Amino acid sequence: MFCPNCGHKNSSAARHCVRCGKSLLIQVCPECNANHFATAPHFSLYGFGGK
């Protein structure tokens, strides 16, 4: 598995990158079923007009 932060190749069992320490865990968004790395939270802005 490659780290999304630094690109270092880690073992498939790694939970954190051995180079930069970022989490390699993936979470599935309950709203859209997309995969997201645990360090990149998914925010929904649905319903906000931005006014």
The string of pLDDT tens digits covering residues 6-28 is 999 999 889 899 999 998 887 77
49 confidence band (pLDDT: 50, 70, 90): low
CB 33 within 8 A of CB 42: no
Query: Both tokens of residue 11?
Result: 């073992």
Contacts 24+ apart (CB under 8 A), 3-7: 4/37, 4/39, 4/40, 5/39
For 24, counting Cβ atoms within 10 Å of its Cβ (0-12 exposed, 13-18 middle, 19+ buried), the class is: buried
Beta bridge partners of 2: 9
Q: What is the arithmetic mean of pLDDT over 37-42?
A: 50
